[in-house]
Structure 1
């Protein structure tokens, strides 16, 4: 399942040339990222929260029992335990097309039902988590928390009663829009800016989310919508799965330095996305580069000619997808720390949401210790690592909970 238009387009280009995209030497590069015993211990000891994993839509589309080891995907229980994951926020992802087609409320309920069924099938492994207290209690009991975030606010359908309903069903953050603008907000991917930020209802929704206790997620929305959201919100916001525009110039889906500064003033957190197209300029521009070269060949030799097919095959073989690496992820983390402080950094991997574009060294949920090792190697203290793995996100969530209790 490829959620973002960018990831879908990139992977559509490289479909059929997986061997070229993952050369043998890539395995050696993967192997160089090896976690020490201490890194593995810290990953398991500290509370590890990942705010964006796309299991619900993955198994809704093609069911697998992720309570056991699976052949496909980036998440299953054994690998998550190996990686030290305590609290995945499972994404209740609603494709942007549902804004026009209808049916978004039904799909949201189905995806939530799927997560509740997951817990029911393996109560010795998983437990639902509706609060920060639940997260901590589940960890103490040796259970992996299943928390829920809604990616795309389309199911709110302009009715604040739906916000309350989805809160009761366990939704604890809402990404206001996705790849197209909706009735709440403009999208960073959508050239149409019908609201110049948030809609009038979107502004009302942000205030109500504060009162209810649902975190405002500013990933995916336009710059104008972001600034309006942080101004309107009385509590910190999160970017549940975003990275930095300074490494991907022109990619509005990521956050600029000015946005990071505004996020810091809001006391919010950016949860770093692991998708290569979010991390590295070369990967971000790969799709457009390949499309231009392939179209030029088709125009010169004829779209269905044998010569065009041969040349396109050579282009694909000689231009493998330029995966980011663990070091690229660490560069993003360093940049946030140096600009606004370590207290604003977390993890929002987008596992099961960015297809085969994950970086070398962080290919699935078993590899969080590699991240910990990288942070150790770059001089982060144990306390700072604890903050990045989950402490910062829990601080924001608690502030949201406390505000809702008194309003």
Structure 2
């Protein structure tokens, strides 16, 4: 998610170990809340936590100074945003998949999508070089584990919107060489690769385009994970079927809790992703998590759209943004809770087992829509505490926190190296 006003983007567009089986009854634990809080913080420090989607590059790119450099220093505690090094350490975050976000409107400008992706990759590399005692790039699971052992926060990278490939298949290999390890095939508009979940009218391709099918095969060949977040249902089905390695949904929650919200993933498709060994990484934004928050965001979207039409401005125009802020002051936001996010994890586990769920927060993208108790990267222990309360073992939580996504990442690496 994202852009200038993160909530505006979301609102305007949409807006348990291996023994945990579908029928297993977990036994809740009953130690004191203080004991559980301490245990969850200690566990967050001990295990590796990998988050499938964090929008730091876009956040920093929106606030560049006259010298073209970010005005925020994420190696220090920052007043804004949801990610910085001190808070990552507090929350136990080890691996942040930095989203290389390419807005859909650049698709109409030849070369613009790839150029932006390159510039954001440059930024991530520079962030790592600038604080080598705190940050390091991770191009493999092995590097991510080594960085964690050395006390560094890893930056892995995923491109959000395959429009960065332009119309050139060779750009898949190019971006792999640049360190990209997953590509979200599209974003909020149909592109040359795939239909989007946000298109409520007639889709362009009825799933993947012919070029998109080539892209999936090439991603398998070079070792880039296929990310099915943002895709239409037909496109997800086809990507899962075509891919020779497991796919991920880097930041998607369960449609079971938000009926009719296609951006979330259906039970049918969760089963399909899991059947191929893939992982659904739960997004934290409140509109993804509860029907009440989703409905609230739809109301805001409708009001802003009506205002924009009346004034003859775009929905991203400053007047429309100011109207939205005023509207939200008069109609306070509805937030999910950390317990509601745990409900989505429970749901995936009950459907397909402990091996197919992870964290995909959308920090620095979901912005003010984040749930109570999960407002930034310092608060993963709050979610871990709820999972402990619900009877998940520490081994279960380690799988959810990183083990599952590391497994599919290694499978993509192994498939590429075997060719």
Provide TM-score, normalisation by structure 2: 0.85
Q: Is residue 159 of structure 1 aligned with residue 160 of structure 2?
A: no
Shift of 1:117: 0.7
Q: SS where residue 128 of structure 2 aligns?
A: helix
Q: Which residue of 2 aligns with 1:69?
A: 77
- Tell me: CA distance 1:380–1:4, structure 2 relative to 1, closer, same or farther (3 Å): farther
Provide the rounded CA distance (Å) in 2 between the counterparts of 1:196 and 1:89.
Answer: 29
> Gapped runs of 5+ residues in structure 1?
13-31, 298-311
- Tell me: CA distance 1:74–1:222, structure 2 relative to 1, closer, same or farther (3 Å): same
String of CA shifts for 1:57-111, please: whole Å, max 9, x gaps.
Answer: 1101112110111011000000000000000000000001111123111111110
Shift of 1:294: 8.8
Residues 10, 366 of structure 2: 8 Å contact kept? no
Q: Which residue of 1 aligns with 2:294?
A: 284
Q: Is residue 267 of structure 1 aligned with residue 268 of structure 2?
A: no
Shift of 1:293: 7.2
Provide the rounded CA distance (Å) in 1 between the counterparts of 2:306 and 2:62.
Answer: 35
Q: Is residue 143 of structure 1 aligned with residue 170 of structure 2?
A: no
Q: Which residue of 2 aligns with 1:333?
A: 345
String of CA shifts for 1:186-208, please: whole Å, max 9, x gaps.
Answer: 00001341100000010011011
Structure 1 counterpart of 2:396, from 367, 374, 384? 384
Q: SS where residue 170 of structure 2 aligns?
A: helix
Provide TM-score, normalisation by structure 1: 0.87
Shift of 1:7: 3.9
Q: Is residue 101 of structure 1 aligned with residue 109 of structure 2?
A: yes
Shift of 1:178: 0.1
Q: SS where residue 139 of structure 1 aligns?
A: helix
Shift of 1:168: 0.5
- Tell me: CA distance 1:204–1:315, structure 2 relative to 1, closer, same or farther (3 Å): closer
Residues 11, 356 of structure 1: 8 Å contact kept? no
Structure 1 counterpart of 2:140, from 126, 131, 134? 131
Q: SS where residue 216 of structure 1 aligns?
A: strand
Q: SS where residue 100 of structure 2 aligns?
A: strand
- Tell me: CA distance 1:202–1:337, structure 2 relative to 1, closer, same or farther (3 Å): same
Shift of 1:289: 2.8
String of CA shifts for 1:329-385, please: whole Å, max 9, x gaps.
Answer: 011111111111111010000000012100000000000011110100011011100
Q: Is residue 202 of structure 1 aligned with residue 212 of structure 2?
A: yes
Residues 5, 179 of structure 1: 8 Å contact kept? no
- Tell me: CA distance 1:33–1:231, structure 2 relative to 1, closer, same or farther (3 Å): farther
Residues 93, 108 of structure 1: 8 Å contact kept? yes
Q: Which residue of 2 aligns with 1:49?
A: 50
Q: SS where residue 250 of structure 2 aligns?
A: strand
Q: How many residues align?
A: 377
- Tell me: CA distance 1:4–1:337, structure 2 relative to 1, closer, same or farther (3 Å): farther
Residues 83, 376 of structure 2: 8 Å contact kept? yes
Q: Which residue of 2 aligns with 1:92?
A: 100
- Tell me: CA distance 1:292–1:135, structure 2 relative to 1, closer, same or farther (3 Å): closer
Provide the rounded CA distance (Å) in 1 between the counterparts of 2:197 and 2:300.
Answer: 23
String of CA shifts for 1:302-355, please: whole Å, max 9, x gaps.
Answer: xxxxxxxxxx99975563111001011011111111111111010000000012
Residues 2, 55 of structure 2: 8 Å contact kept? no
> Gapped runs of 5+ residues in structure 2?
13-32, 64-69, 308-323
Residues 34, 370 of structure 1: 8 Å contact kept? no
- Tell me: CA distance 1:344–1:315, structure 2 relative to 1, closer, same or farther (3 Å): same
Residues 278, 356 of structure 2: 8 Å contact kept? yes
